Structure 1
Amino acid sequence: MINIVLFGPPGAGKGTQAERLVERYNLVHLSTGDVFRRNIKGGTELGSLAKKYMDGGNLVPDEVTIKMLESEANQHPDANGFIFDGFPRTQPQAKALDTFLESKNQSISLMLSLNVEDNELKNRLMKRAETSGRTDDADPEIIANRIDVYKRDTAPVADYYSAQNKLVEINGIGSINEISQRLFDAVDKNGK
């Protein structure tokens, strides 16, 4: 079983690359962003709460995110493994994920961290806003805040996995296929 944390700042290409990793390794993609957006669109209580935080470019509180993610993972008892996209975003979330996986006699195999410069992230997010209808990608102030929140609150999660020798940094600049190949090479070398 392979369990991958796909990591990187907003706009790094996690969603695009997660789809390719899912297809290649037959994994279940668990994207907290997608789950939050489904709940927001469906008007659920969780969706309303998540929307309040997301609209300001802030993280949804750990306890809400963790319970939601565990519920999603439990819906796939026969999975070959998971790609966690957008989670964990804090060290307490990383520890909670380890505890949850340990309860199922599993662990994180590796963290793939997509590295992309800030200016490229901003350009990607503005382009994504034009095509996806995601209003959180259209406002330069919200984009800047999301990148700052990532650097302050989320980037330290890489240290958590680095201490476990599970962090693999990936150059996130280049064509989609070039980046995919870098990810595949990392999984084939480190993830089994």
Structure 2
Amino acid sequence: MGINNKKIIILLGPPGSGKGTQATLLAEKLDLYYFETSNIIEMAVHSHRAEEHVEVDGQKYTFGHEKELWEKGILCSPPFVVFLVEKKINELFQSGKGIVFAGSPRTMHEGEK
């Protein structure tokens, strides 16, 4: 499937509105990857050492700091999240898989990027 033929679906709504349920059904029915930003972040903060970092626009974001935010239920730094999201989207595009997003983007910064 060419890059212009990939399906991308974005579901937005308040907490508890059924975004995850609908995303799961769509992903199964249309053979899409259910993209859960929270899972991407969770995997990243648990699979890297605390002192490891990513650099975005000249600023360093350590996995340790982002994990602390995540564990407290505070949104991670938007540039850090965008970095992880872009990386995963590129991987999915290379594999030819379409995507269904539920509850993402979560901030204006994420949406603009």
Of the candidates 2, 13, 22, which is equivalent to residue 7 of structure 2?
Answer: 2
Matched pairs, number: 96
Root-mean-square deviation over aligned CA pairs: 2.3
Residue 37 of structure 1 contacts residue 47 of structure 1 at CA under 8 Å; is this kept in 2?
Answer: no
- Structure 1 unaligned segments of length 5 or more: list them: 97-192
Residues 62-106 of structure 1: CA deviation (Å, up to 9, x unaligned): 11011101111111224342112342112221121xxxxxxxxxx
In structure 2, the residue matched to 1:165 is none
In structure 1, the residue matched to 2:56 is none
Aligned AA (1:64):
F
Of the candidates 81, 89, 94, which is equivalent to residue 98 of structure 2?
Answer: 81
1:44–1:31 Cα change, 3 Å: farther
Instruction: Using CA pairs under 8 Å that are at least 6 residues apart, name the structure with larger relative contact order, 1 or 2.
Output: 2
Q: Return the alpha-carbon distance in structure 2 between the equivalents of residues 92 and 68 of structure 1.
A: 14
Shift of 1:42: 2.9
- Structure 2 unaligned segments of length 5 or more: list them: 1-5, 51-61
Q: Return the alpha-carbon distance in structure 2 between the equivalents of residues 75 and 6 of structure 1.
A: 21
> Structure 2 length normalisation: TM-score?
0.67
> Structure 1 length normalisation: TM-score?
0.43
Larger Rg: 1
